[in-house]
Amino acid sequence: MSSPKTIRWGILATGGIAQTFTKDLLCDPKTRGVDSIVHTVVAAASSSSADRAQQFLKDVGAPSDAKAYGSYQDLVNDESIDIVYVATPHSHHYQNAMLCLEAGKNVLCEKAFTVNAAQAKALIKKAKEKDLFLMEAVWTRYFPLSIYVRDLITSGRLGPVHRVTADLSMSMSPETSFPDGKHRMVNPELAGGALLDLGIYALTWCFQTLYLTQPENERRRPSVQTAMKLYPTGADEMTTMLLTFPRRKELGGDAHAVAMTAMRAAVDPDGKGTAGPAVRIQGEKGEVQVFHPIFRPTKTRLVLQDGTVEDKTWKQPGPGQGSGWKNGFQDMVNEEGEGHGMFWEADEAAMALVEGRKEGKFEGLEESLVIMEVVDEVRRQGGLRYPDKIETTDYPVDL
- Contacting positions for ligand NAP (CB under 6 A): 13-18, 46-48, 52, 87-90, 92, 110-111, 139, 197, 295, 329
Q: Is 271 left (phi over 0), alpha (psi -120 to 50) or beta?
A: left
How many C-beta neighbours within 10 Å does residue 394 have? Answer: 11
Answer yes or no: are the C-beta atoms of 282 and 164 closer than 8 Å: yes
**Shortest spacing between CB 353 and ligand NAP, in angstroms:** 20
How far is Cα 241 from Cα 235, in angstroms, rounded to an integer? 16
**Shortest spacing between CB 14 and ligand NAP, in angstroms:** 3
User: What is the rounded (10 degree) CA torsion for 83, 86, 92, 96?
Assistant: -20
How many C-beta neighbours within 10 Å does residue 312 have? Answer: 12
**Shortest spacing between CB 137 and ligand NAP, in angstroms:** 6
End-to-end CA distance of the chain: 48
The closest residue (CB) to ligand NAP is 15
How far is Cα 124 from Cα 78, in angstroms, rounded to an integer? 22
| Beta-sheet strand order (sheet of 5-12) | 67-69, 37-45, 5-12, 83-86, 106-110, 134-137
Angle at 43 between CA 42 and CA 48, to 5 degrees: 170
**Shortest spacing between CB 32 and ligand NAP, in angstroms:** 18
How far is Cα 86 from Cα 14, in angstroms, rounded to an integer? 10
Closer Cβ to ligand NAP, 133 or 201, answer by number: 201
Closer Cβ to ligand NAP, 110 or 347, answer by number: 110
**Shortest spacing between CB 8 and ligand NAP, in angstroms:** 19
Cα 213 from chain centroid (whole Å): 18
**Shortest spacing between CB 328 and ligand NAP, in angstroms:** 11
Q: Which of 296, 336, 23 is nearest to 144 (CA)?
A: 296
Return the sign of the alpha-carbon dihedral for residues 109, 110, 115, 121: positive
Closer Cβ to ligand NAP, 87 or 374, answer by number: 87
**Shortest spacing between CB 49 and ligand NAP, in angstroms:** 8
